[in-house]
Amino acid sequence: MGDSANGLINRPILASIHTAAFQHNLNRVRELAPESKIWSVIKARAYGHCFDAALKGLASTDGFALLDIQDAAWLRQHGWKGRILLLEGFFHENELSLAQELACDLVVHCEAQVEWLERFKAKNHKPFNVFLKMNTGMNRLGFKPDNYRTAFHRLHAAGYHMHHMTHFANADQIDQSPTVGAQQELFNQTIEGLEGSTSLANSAAILWHRNALGDWVRPGIMLYGASPTGLHADIKHANLQAVMQLHSEIIDIQDLQKGDRIGYGGRYEATAAMRVGIVACGYADGYPRHAKDGTPVWVAQGNEGVVCPLVGRVSMDMLAIDLRKAPNARIGTAVQLWGDKVPVDDVAQMSDTIGYELLCAVAPRVPVAIK
């Protein structure tokens, strides 16, 4: 730790990305969905884990699903020869030539895209693989069932290779409308008699709705070892491994007296004399400013470690922890903000969000080490 990619010396913060954990989690998807092919979802710089690490750790996937066409270009430049799916298709007509050059599959979710593709095909381009997106109740992207078959037939008539896709709104919840069952039924009814493979399941469905997998599953968060629900308890027995570990160090120690307050707004007031460690990690590194007092932070102690509670409001570059359980901590002592010692979901839960948001939010100023 401490050496940045460019050889200069850093603040003692580091995100280490464990590619063996990626491979392990991908194998878990194969075990859970042995009949399906896998689109590994790596949008948002692989949920903040960086593309280099994803390409290395997930090399045995059937395809990568992502958002930005320049990320598809990056994958091709770095030797990826498997399939690539653009999850929102294309945003403007002029992306189509590049998408074809990069041999991308396209999600098509709106009328404008259908028109663009009809024009494109009329110019004698090769046909794309199209995953036509159906809005079965999520009400975000896609064609409602009434319009779905029309869109399908238009693109099919234009010569495209057609497949079917939908997305579940509540695969991580029980009995929340629209349910997986209701969405799946609508999907199956609508595509009845149409050719093409199907893609339905996100991580939550892969884990908990094994009858809703389809021909291509689309795991995201589970590949990173975090929970679709945001609760670590829900994946405790799923045998997934945390891929990212966020590390830092104690850079200052303050001895507080009873009644002393910490940081902006003085949110935490010491109830007794205590040592407080100041850690080089703040919300501008991606640690959540919403984190409450008591959020777990792991502190190295000899060959072991101990979990200490966060105290006071997280500031831009620092946070404070109560060191009463870590009497040997000193300046330079290693801490883990999340990873194998502290599930990112536990930090997220104490911050009223989900691990997804925290992983994606790790800031560019945090150096990354691929292990």
Q: Which residues are annotated as a binding site for substrate?
A: 140, 316
Nearer to its own copies, 160 or 356 (CB): 356
Q: Which of 141, 162, 347, 350 binds its own copies (CB under 8 A)?
A: 141
Nearer to its own copies, 23 or 323 (CB): 323
Q: Which of 23, 40, 135, 295 binds its own copies (CB under 8 A)?
A: 135
The catalytic position among 236, 264, 325, 371 is 264
Tell me whether residue 264 is one of the annotated catalytic residues.
Answer: yes
Tell me whether residue 341 is one of the annotated catalytic residues.
Answer: no
The catalytic position among 43, 133, 287, 325 is 43
Nearer to its own copies, 93 or 340 (CB): 93
Binders of its own copies among residues 296 to 315 (CB under 8 A) are 312, 315
Whole-number Å distance between alpha carbons of 300 and 329: 8
Whole-number Å distance between alpha carbons of 328 and 246: 21
Per the document, the length of the chain is: 371
Give the pair of three-digit tokens for residue 318: 């620092």
Nearest to 14 by CA among 4, 26, 25, 24: 4
Q: Which of 77, 79, 92, 304 binds its own copies (CB under 8 A)?
A: 92
Whole-number Å distance between alpha carbons of 262 and 256: 9
* 353 is a site residue for its own copies (CB under 8 A): yes
* 256 is a site residue for its own copies (CB under 8 A): yes
* 98 is a site residue for its own copies (CB under 8 A): yes
Give the pair of three-digit tokens for residue 133: 């997106």
Q: Which of 28, 49, 109, 209 binds its own copies (CB under 8 A)?
A: 109
* 326 is a site residue for its own copies (CB under 8 A): no
Of 6-14, 55-63, 152-160, 292-300, the segment contacting its own copies by CB under 8 A is 6-14
Minimum CB separation of residue 317 from its own copies in Å reads 6
Of 118-126, 149-157, 237-245, 250-258, the segment contacting its own copies by CB under 8 A is 250-258
Nearer to its own copies, 20 or 265 (CB): 265
Binders of its own copies among residues 175 to 234 (CB under 8 A) are 176-178
Q: What is the dihedral of CA 136, 138, 144, 148, to 10 degrees?
A: -60
Give the pair of three-digit tokens for residue 207: 């884990």
Q: Which of 10, 100, 241, 301 binds its own copies (CB under 8 A)?
A: 10
Size of the site for its own copies (CB under 8 A): 82
Cα Rg for the chain, rounded, in angstroms? 23
Minimum CB separation of residue 35 from its own copies in Å reads 26
Minimum CB separation of residue 31 from its own copies in Å reads 26
Nearer to its own copies, 141 or 310 (CB): 141
Binders of its own copies among residues 38 to 67 (CB under 8 A) are 43-45, 47, 67
Q: Which of 252, 294, 324, 327 binds its own copies (CB under 8 A)?
A: 252
Find out whether 72 and 102 touch, Cβ atoms under 8 Å.
Answer: yes
* 155 is a site residue for its own copies (CB under 8 A): no
* 344 is a site residue for its own copies (CB under 8 A): no
Catalytic site positions: 43, 264
